[in-house]
Amino acid sequence: MQPSVHGIHHVTVIAGDAQENLNFYVGVMGMRLVKKSVNQDATDTYHLFYADGAGTPGTDLTFFPWPALPPGQLGTGITVEVPFAVPTGSLSYWQERFKKLNVHFEAPEMRFGEKTLPFTDPHGLQLALVETDDVRDFVPWDKSPVPADFQLRGMHAVRLWEHTLDPTVALLTGPMGFKKVGEENNWVRLAAKDGGSGCFIELKAMPGHPHGEWGTGAVHHVAWRTKDSDEEMSLQAAISRLGLRPTPQIDRFWFRSVYFREPGGTLFELATDGPGFDRDEDMAALGEKLILPPWLERERHKIEIGLPLLNMPDVKKYSF
């Protein structure tokens, strides 16, 4: 069988202040901090992973807090928005919640027949909530300040601006296994595998727009799901044959990764579904301690003293 990706694995973003980030995603958005670690390539900053109650692949939004960076700039060759799935009928709850918690949001709109609520996080990341009845792999977090019926079900899609669509579409519909499933208001929607929530990428041609810039509030990369290492390496070989120069496979301990830039410049990752976040922590205690992969343990003291202290928000203050 031809290897292909199976939807979104995670999205990684550059954040500002780490405590503000933690307060927003646990307190306001009701996501679970499933792993508190460091950027393995720059250990002077955290890598914070927020997801559903079990860290299910496809529900995971992660952050590198770099508060000294300038704000990111939206543009071509960068992911410009991360829409999340919520159950149908949830948006009225979220609008009231955002009003009470002073979250900036726009008026609801329809996209591809789906009611959508765009909003912005404290550091400028463009997000949206999309109502959907699509079945998702999802485990509610029983300590969330958001009731289970309204909790985020994971990324619904990612949205990219491109100078030109054809080279990126050729990559997606070629070795990555996507199919074009819709076009609306100059956005082209493609779906991995059999489609559905969590499998969408939406592209818009913006030929006269400048290239986007990384900074706080900007998406660093989008990771796509692969079942296992064999499938990932088959995809790596297929992508290499297109001249896109993917990296060797990198062991991230909780999954294995291959990185490359799609033709428009956006950084993509292939990530295996396992071993998973409970490889080195009990499922009931995910996110409670600073966890380092084994090869960084010898540097723990140096790493810890270089990181700011983080306090888990009191979720009762966010529960209503």
d(C-alpha 172, C-alpha 151), whole Å: 30
**Residue 66 dihedral angles phi and psi, to the nearest 5°:** -130, 75
The answer to whether 290 and 298 have CB atoms below 8 angstroms apart is no
The answer to whether position 197 is within a domain reads yes
Q: From its phi and psi, is residue 164 left (phi > 0), alpha (psi between -120 and 50) or beta?
A: beta
- Which pLDDT does position 167 carry in this prediction? 98
Question: What would the mean pLDDT of 117-146 be, rounded to a whole number?
Answer: 98
Q: pLDDT category, 157, cuts 50, 70, 90?
A: very high
Q: What is the CATH number of the domain that holds 165?
A: 3.10.180.10
What is the pLDDT at residue 3? 77
Quick one: pLDDT band at residue 97, thresholds 50, 70, 90? very high
Q: Does any domain span residue 265? A: yes
Residues 72-85 have a mean pLDDT of 97
Other Cβ atoms less than 10 A from the Cβ of 55: the count is 24
Euclidean distance between CA atoms 144 and 148, whole angstroms: 8
Cα separation, 270 vs 137, whole angstroms: 19
Q: Sorting pLDDT into bands at 50, 70 and 90, what band is 1?
A: low
Q: Cβ(116)–Cβ(94) under 8 Å?
A: no
d(CA 212, CA 74): 5
Q: How far apart are CA 246 and CA 243, in angstroms?
A: 9
CB 285 within 8 A of CB 31: no
Answer yes or no: is 282 within a domain: yes
Query: Does residue 194 have a pLDDT over 90?
Result: no
Query: Mean pLDDT throughout 51-72?
Result: 98
Rounded Cα gap, residues 97 and 146, in angstroms:
9
The helix (H) or strand (E) run that includes residue 241 is helix 229-241
In whole angstroms, give the CA distance from residue 181 to residue 179.
6
> Three-state DSSP class for 47?
strand
Calculate what percentage of the chain has a pLDDT beyond 70.
100
CA nearest to 46, candidates 67, 23, 75: 67
Mean pLDDT in residue range 33-41: 98
Predicted confidence (pLDDT) per residue in 226-249, tens digit: 999 999 999 999 999 999 999 999
Q: For residue 187, what are the domain limits?
A: 8-318
- When pLDDT is averaged across residues 107-127 and rounded to a whole number, the result is 98
Distance CA 262, CA 169 (A): 10
How far is residue 22's CA from residue 42's CA, in Å, rounded to a whole number?
Answer: 20
The one-letter amino acid at 39: N
Q: Flag whether 59 is in a domain.
A: yes
What residue ranges in 146-243 does DSSP mark as E strands? 157-162, 178-184, 187-192, 200-205, 219-226
Rounded Cα–Cα distance for residues 119 and 112 (Å): 18
What kind and span of H or E run contains 95? Answer: helix 91-100
The structure's pTM equals 0.98
Answer yes or no: is pLDDT of 52 > 90. Answer: yes
Could you please report the per-residue DSSP string of 109-152?
EEETTEEEEEEE-TT--EEEEEEE---------TT-SS-GGGS-
Question: Does the pLDDT value for residue 14 go beyond 90?
Answer: yes
Residue 60 belongs to a domain: yes
Tell me whether residue 193 is in a domain.
yes
User: Tens digit of pLDDT for each residue in 275-318?
Assistant: 999 999 999 999 999 999 999 999 999 999 999 999 999 999 99
Entry field: residues in the chain = 320
Euclidean distance between CA atoms 58 and 224, whole angstroms: 9
pLDDT of residue 43: 97
- How do residues 207-227 score in pLDDT, each as one tens digit? 999 999 999 999 999 999 999
Reading the block at residue 50, the tokens are: 């927020």
Q: Is residue 120 part of a domain?
A: yes
What average pLDDT does the segment 61-80 reach? 97
Rounded to a whole number of angstroms, the CA Rg of the chain reads: 19
pLDDT, residue 39, reads: 98
Average pLDDT, the chain: 97
- Tally of domains in the chain: 1
Per-residue pLDDT for 320 more than 90?
no
- The reported pLDDT for the residue numbered 2 is 74
